Amino acid sequence: MEGGRSGPGAGAWPNIVVFGAGAVGCHYGAKLAIAGAPVTLIGRGPHVEAVRERGLWFDSGGTRTVVRLAADTGSGPVAAADLVLLCVKSADTAAAAREIAAGLRPGATVVSMQNGVDNVERARAAAPGLDPLAAVVYVGASMGGPGHVVHAGRGELVLGAYPGGPGAADPARIAAIAAVFERAGVPCPVSEDVRAALWTKLVMNATFNALSALTRGRYGPIVADPGLAATARVVIDECVAVARADGVAIADGEALHAAALALGAAMATATSSTEQDLGRGRPTEIDSLNGYVVARGDALGVPVPMNRALHALVRLLERERAARA
């Protein structure tokens, strides 16, 4: 960050814009604002109106905090930002990247905080010269309504430079961004292989998002059910096979299955973003989760029948709910 603003003990904070004020954006925007950072949320009209009127309601650990921060429906605040957190759905990455790039000042940093593996690549393709850092997000959060975010568990990030960017990654800049989150009480280790970290998160998303959506269930009952736990293992083994065929070094299926069971137990009351999207009649990100595994598996000649089935079933639910809307 510029001007010595980013160190964990610095007196001044970077000016932060959250581009896409859904559950993830609101959670981290709230954490940063509570710690004292100037934060502006960019989101939909009803949400922005609620935040402006009464603040952002942040429910965590049985306590509600009313967080006062700026909110806007337009991208104008990007022009004054030191740090932009890109938190839109994967399908909106290209459009958001172009809008951010049009207003971003020299020296500002963009961080992709999105589900899926290829959002940085999408942003680069849509806005040449834009080179976001990648953050792997581990948080259980949902929107309780306009201006209301509910934290169900965890909240750490893993940060790094996605390979293949237009310029050399700056370790000092990455460390400075990580320090901003750490200063706000958000664990944020830096990874030298963020692509592997993103794939590891994708394994968890491919496991829980579709199963939670199809069963309308929370994570705890999913991992406690022997049949669903066995299904999760098949999903994970397919993901590992695709990742390794794609040259990504991730852990084996046994280790990742154990991690998934532990995650489900730790976030027993959480539901997936895919389940939440279906419940609200919104498009899901399933194409960037199980659908991405299917696409890469097909390209690499790796069979992925379980991921294909889960992807197809969620897409069927999407179409049916869209037809009824």
Q: Indicate whether 264 and 293 sit together in one domain.
A: yes
Q: Determine phi and psi for 238, rounding to 5 degrees.
A: -65, -45
Number of independent structural domains in the chain: 2
Both 22 and 154 in one domain: the answer is: yes
What does the H/E/C string look like for 117-182?
A: CCHHHHHHHHCCCCCCEEEEEEEEEEEEECCEEEEEEEEEEEEECCCCCCCCCCHHHHHHHHHHHH
Comparing CA positions, the residue from 154, 148, 183, 157 lying closest to residue 36 is: 183
Give Dmax (Cα) for the chain. 55
Query: Which CATH number fits the domain that encloses residue 33?
Result: 3.40.50.720
Decide: 239 and 190 in contact? Cβ < 8 Å. Answer: no
Residues 120 and 269 in one domain: no
- Per the prediction, the chain carries an average pLDDT of 93
Q: What does the radius of gyration of the chain's CA atoms come to, in whole angstroms?
A: 19
pLDDT of the residue at 105: 95
Give the pLDDT confidence score for residue 2 in this predicted structure.
36
Domain-terminating residue out of 192, 215, 250: 192
Among the listed residues 89, 201, 218, 311, the single catalytic one is 201
Tell me the average pLDDT across 271-291.
Answer: 91
Tell me the mean pLDDT in the region 169-189: 95
Indicate if 31 belongs to the active site: no
| Domain boundary pick from 192, 210, 238 | 192
Q: What is the mean pLDDT of residues 219-241?
A: 97
- Do 70 and 178 lie in one domain? The reply is yes
- Per-residue pLDDT, 324: 80
Same domain, 206 and 93: no
Q: How confident is the model at residue 120 (pLDDT cuts 50, 70, 90)?
A: very high
pLDDT exceeds cutoff 50 at 124? yes
- Residues 247, 304: one domain? yes
Whether 181 and 59 share a structural domain: yes
Whether residue 9 is found in the same domain as residue 137: yes
**pLDDT surpasses 80 at 156:** yes
**For 142-157, what is the mean pLDDT?**
93
Out of 100-104, 138-142, 299-303, least confident range: 138-142
Say yes or no: 131 and 259 in one domain: no
Flag whether pLDDT at 8 surpasses 50.
Answer: no
pLDDT in tens, 48-91: 999 999 999 999 999 999 999 999 999 999 999 999 999 999 99
Please, which residues bridge with residue 83 across strands? Answer: 16, 109
Q: Cβ neighbours of residue 258 under 8 Å, at least 6 residues apart?
A: none
pLDDT at position 7 over 90: no
Choose one of 192, 212, 232: the last residue of a domain. 192
Under the banding of pLDDT at 50, 70 and 90, the label for residue 244 is very high
- In this predicted structure, the answer to whether residue 247 has a pLDDT above a threshold of 90 is yes
Residue 270, pLDDT score: 85
Are residues 76 and 151 located together in one domain of the fold?
Answer: yes
**Do 91 and 201 belong to one domain?**
no
Share of the chain above pLDDT 90, in %: 84
CA pair distance 319, 325, nearest whole angstrom: 10
Q: Sorting pLDDT into bands at 50, 70 and 90, what band is 10?
A: low
In the prediction, which pLDDT does 134 show? 97
pLDDT bin (cut points 50, 70, 90) of residue 21 is: very high
Lateral strand order in the sheet of 56-60: 63-67, 56-60, 148-160, 133-145, 109-112, 83-86, 16-19, 39-42, 70-72
Which pTM does this prediction carry?
A: 0.89
For position 11, what pLDDT does the model report? Answer: 64
| One domain, residues 142 and 212 | no
Domain encompassing residue 242: 195-324
- CATH number of the domain enclosing 208: 1.10.1040.10
The average pLDDT across 134-159 equals: 93
